[in-house]
Amino acid sequence: MEGLGWIAAIIVGGIAGWIASNIMKADTGVFLNIVLGIVGAVVGNAILGVLGLNAQHGSWIAQGFVGLFGAVILIWLYRAVAK
């Protein structure tokens, strides 16, 4: 996320995490939403890298979608492991 910077990554990550928690009907707090969004963006970028795609230097919107995708995956994995 070097194209956006840390402050922007936190903002985009927070928004992506919040949207993901609403999509997945997860009962998480603001801090966990931010963490899920940021980690989700990292996971999403890693998955895209394996597929040969690169969204790291993309726009806020591209990073938001990558963060959302990654956060949804993280919430799904958390639920699968927690059962």
For residue range 40-79, what is the model confidence (pLDDT) as tens digits? 777 777 777 788 776 656 677 777 787 788 888 888 887 7
Spans of all domains in the chain: 6-82
pTM: 0.69
Q: Side chain identity at 70, as an amino acid letter?
A: G
d(CA 35, CA 9): 10
CB atoms within 10 A of CB 31: 10
